Amino acid sequence: MTDKKNWPEILKDLEELCELHDRASSDYEKCRKFNGGLAKLLEKLEDTENYKMADRVMDVLINCSPKVASNCEKSALVREKIKGMTKRAYEEAQN
């Protein structure tokens, strides 16, 4: 379980990723930045032994595949997953 002191940083990262994803659906560079941000968050979660949240991030990464010159086919799915994950993170941080 993640130490309470790590939650503010994790929550901040998730909020930034949500905002970035909302702007990235048809912008390849922003999409790649979002994907890279998720990968960094995954590493941070694994380093802090928050494997439950890391599994959720892996689920999002599986569905996130940036492509040049095309719209994201799974944008809505990824958006819902990242927002759901953020909501659960806030709930876990309060416990």
Supply the pLDDT for residue 53: 93
CA dihedral of residues 74, 77, 78, 83 (deg, nearest 10): 160
Q: What pLDDT was estimated at residue 2?
A: 57
Q: Where are the domains of the chain?
A: 4-94
Name, in order, each residue with C-beta under 8 angstroms of 34's C-beta and a sequence gap of 6 or more: 17, 20, 21, 24, 64, 66
Q: Which two tokens stand for residue 53?
A: 């949240």
Q: What is the pLDDT of residues 20-35, one digit of tens each?
A: 998 886 788 888 999 9
Question: Residue 52 pLDDT more than 70?
Answer: yes
